[in-house]
Amino acid sequence: MTNVILKQAKIIDPSSPFHLQKMDLKIENGTITAIEKEITNTTDFELVEVSNLHLSQGWMDSSVSFGEPGYEERETIENGLKVASKSGFTAVALQPNSNPVIDNQSQIRFVMDKARNQATNLYPIGSLTRGSEGVDLAELFDMKNAGAIAFGDYKKALQNANLQKIALQYVQDFDGLVIAFCQDSALKGSGIANEGIVSTRLGLKGIPALAEELHVTRNLFLLEYTGGKLHIPTISTQGSIKLIKEAKAKGLNVTCSVAVHNLVLNDEALTAFDTRYKVSPPLREETTRKALIEAVLDGTIDCITSDHNPLDIEHKKLEFDLAKDGTIGLESAFGALLTVLPVEVIVEKLTACKLVFNVNSNSIAVGNKADISLFTTTEDWTFTKEAIASKSKNSAFLGQKMKGKVIGIYNSGQLVINN
């Protein structure tokens, strides 16, 4: 256990009595023991003293892929969690897209064992269907008992509406959460970019917004029929925003997220056919990017994810139509978001998924467990390869202007500070 004094940190936490105040914090044996205007270091506490220091409740990322088991060349769980710590995240939800797919309790236990004693907590998402093949439901109840926090097939929309319905009904027996990526595979076809002016100009086959919206509509109808809880990840269209807003107004228990790259970048980035910008769902046009930001601000979108998906060079540095979808995003998430959103909103959306996934959160208050993200808000800098700690380097944010920097985290009794 590292004992720490954080000096003159502005606290961003609406649930804390010290919200928006500059205070000193004393952390002993993993617990906040004092929050005062001035705390003198009388013992051998580690001091964290940084200009413009801010802190908040620990951030959680609702969608990360680490590769292990099976794709360790892309990322390992150990290194992935170290990357998350340095990126300001005290918790991550791990996607099941490894090899083998995480679709049973032994796989859940394997990844949780690999994550022991790390500063960042790992919460596994179990595959909704066996092998993420969309044919039969996986061992959902067993995985829940082993530690799975939700169930979904990463970037694979369940085309079978009846199976989606059965899943929503079944998980209610144990308060489970279904994650439903929304994309109609027939409408998507062989599309590789947002259907619009840019894809037409570049000669790239388009993915219409309708492919996402049709599935959002279907899944919301199923939710209304079955009850239960549904999370729709990484929405990317104006129609999806409208549909989810209406569903929430009806009282349906639905939440959604958006990926950082869909908030910061638009499809004009594809002009040079750089496959780092090939993501799923695709980057949309500028008007949609602005609409997604509005949906974050008005509360329609519950949380923001980095959608961190490491891919090796053999799968990424190819012709545009052959390259795999995905970008790493942990290291760039905060700095990129601060170029388009206020810091209070970013903190709210990076901590909200604890509520969505029923993970304990700890307010910044005396006597509470220290689960804290540390950051600044004023520095301007450019994201380069030197900022990447992931094993894979497939970042859509290389060369992008960033604002503010992550200093580190304190969680699980451990202090992680960036050099």
Residue 419 pLDDT grade (very low, low, confident, very high; cuts 50, 70, 90): confident
Among 187-191, 228-232, 316-320, 374-378, the range scoring the smallest mean pLDDT is 316-320
- Planar angle of CA 199, 155, 340, nearest 5 degrees: 65
pLDDT for res 213: 98
pLDDT for res 11: 97
Residue 327 pLDDT grade (very low, low, confident, very high; cuts 50, 70, 90): very high
pLDDT for res 93: 98
The question of whether 173 is a catalytic residue gets the answer no
pLDDT digits (tens, 9 = 90+) for 117-133: 999 999 999 999 999 99
Q: Report d(CA 337, CA 335) in Å as an integer.
A: 6
pLDDT for res 300: 97
Average pLDDT (198-219) is 97
pLDDT for res 42: 74
Collapsing DSSP states into helix, strand and coil, what is residue 27?
Answer: strand
Average pLDDT (180-207) is 96
Average pLDDT (359-387) is 95
pLDDT digits (tens, 9 = 90+) for 256-305: 999 999 999 999 999 999 999 999 999 999 999 999 999 999 999 999 99
CB 308 within 8 A of CB 290: no
Average pLDDT (326-350) is 97
Cβ neighbours of 12 (radius 10 Å): 22
pLDDT for res 2: 86
Query: DSSP states of 279-344 as a string?
Result: -SSPP--HHHHHHHHHHHHTTSS-EEE--B----HHHHSS-TTTSPP-BB-TTTHHHHHTTTS-HH
> Active-site residue among 13, 61, 184, 307?
307
pLDDT for res 41: 82
Q: Taking the mean position of all CA atoms in its chain, how far away is CA 238?
A: 20
In the chain the domains, ranked by start, together with CATH numbers, are: 4-54+367-417 (2.30.40.10), 58-356 (3.20.20.140)
Collapsing DSSP states into helix, strand and coil, what is residue 115?
Answer: coil
pLDDT for res 1: 82
pLDDT digits (tens, 9 = 90+) for 33-91: 999 999 988 778 999 999 999 999 999 999 999 999 999 999 999 999 999 999 999 99
pLDDT at 240 over 80: yes
pLDDT for res 96: 97
pLDDT at 18 over 90: yes
